[in-house]
Amino acid sequence: MDAEGANCGMTEQVREHATDVAANRSVRRPDAPLQADISDFHGRVLLGDAFDLFDRLPEQLIDLIVTSPPYWGHREYGLSHNWETFNDIQAVKRSFRVQSDGYASYRDRNGVLGLEPYPEWYVFHLAEIFGKALRCLKKSGSMWINVGDTYFARWASIRENGRQGLAEEGRLRRKTPMGSFRQEKQLLLIPARLAIAMQDDGWILRNDLI
């Protein structure tokens, strides 16, 4: 993230607030962050979920983060997703709130980032993950985020090569409950919602590049 900004899907620049407001969410700050020198990470590739990996890094280690997370409701990337639990509209409405219980809870149920039953969950999960990045980013650092938008549909095609892929093989249907701003043909403004969520967490939005 650009300490001066983040580029949200459209690319939105955000900078870390001078005050460490992220400390208000303990889930985003390990009790005992690693004490290491940048040289300890030279030539190393850490493979895994960023939600976990950021906890392994020391505070204020990173100058620049550039990321393009999975867009909501577009692809399944060949990963194992709990379609049975999260793709039944009536079951989702009975069993889950529109407000997410957190990315860890969702992942524990074998949910994949970008295939959340509610776009509200997706925005919350990304902000939660980026909150962990905040601890590792230098005061002068930056984050650039590329995240796309989505038109709402109760049923939408999910393909390995994207929603609009031509291949018919392996097509899945992502099903999402309607309600609130979740209306047919509605542009969900996910990049804007993510930017606002991050501002609420203390980031400073510096630019929105379309």
Report pLDDT for 40: 72
Q: Is residue 63 part of a domain?
A: yes
Q: Is residue 6 part of a domain?
A: no
Given a cut of 80, is residue 29 above it in pLDDT?
A: no
What is the side-by-side order of every strand in the sheet holding 137-145? 62-67, 137-145, 12-16, 203-208
Q: Is residue 201 part of a domain?
A: yes
Q: Which two tokens stand for residue 57?
A: 């890094």
The whole domain housing 204 covers 12-208
pLDDT, tens only, 135-177: 999 999 999 999 999 999 888 877 665 555 555 566 777 889 9
**Confidence bin at 98 (pLDDT 50/70/90):** very high
* 12 φψ region: left (φ > 0), alpha (ψ -120 to 50), beta (else): beta
Given a cut of 50, is residue 189 above it in pLDDT?
A: yes
Report pLDDT for 54: 93
Q: Is residue 5 part of a domain?
A: no
Residues in CB range of 136: below 8 A, 6 or more apart: 54, 57, 58, 59, 60, 61, 62
Instruction: Pick the more confident residue, 17 or 191.
Output: 191
Q: For the chain, what is the mean pLDDT?
A: 80
Per DSSP, helices labelled H in 2-45 are: none
Given a cut of 50, is residue 17 above it in pLDDT?
A: no
Q: Is residue 7 part of a domain?
A: no
Q: Is residue 94 part of a domain?
A: yes
Report pLDDT for 21: 31
Cα 112 to the chain's mean position, in Å?
Answer: 11
Q: How many domains does the chain have?
A: 1
Report pLDDT for 159: 65
Q: Is residue 77 part of a domain?
A: yes
Q: Is residue 29 part of a domain?
A: yes
Closest CA to 34 of 145, 132, 143: 132
